Amino acid sequence: MAGLEWIIVLGIAGFLLLAAEVFVPGMVLGILGTLSLVASVVIAYLQHGAFVGSITLVIVLFGSMAGFLAWMALFPRTSIGRRLILTSAPDKADKSAVDCLLGQIGEALTPLRPAGTILLGGRKLDVISEGELVEAGDAVEIIRHEGLRTIVRKTTGAVGESA
């Protein structure tokens, strides 16, 4: 019966180590927990045969799946989970605020090679030129947005105008 006790101890220790991995990142506890669970299954097969080994394997697999599902359900409710998980969609107002800049003309504060900074309506914006080199002081027009990038092109219009 000494082998059966080791199987149980290794199995419980493995599950506890995997649970502790959530709170102590670094994968060390997770690897030790996994090795402990594998060792419990291997000992069960070697010392008690295929029947006990298979039962141990099924318990480890179902226990791991149940633990993972419980973690997925409970983690977002923890204080760490609430800080790490996005709970709301981005505001539509952000998109419309960016769209209202299209066609406006600003002044390049830095050379755009292709990225740099422009002055538009008293505020600084980080932008990317459409491809050509834009010198500091040149007028630029906002022509489009690609994700978080604002694309500009050199223009002949006066700073502060809208196209």
Structure-token pair, residue 150: 């604002």
Pick the CATH number of 92-154 from 3.30.70.270, 3.40.50.1580, 2.40.50.140, 2.60.40.10: 2.40.50.140
Residues 6+ apart with CB under 8 A from 124: 109, 117, 118
Structure-token pair, residue 3: 């082998």
Contact 17, 30 (CB under 8 A): yes
pLDDT at 96: 60
pLDDT at 76: 85
Map residue 23 onto helix, strand or coil.
Answer: coil
Which residues of the chain have a pLDDT value below 50?
none
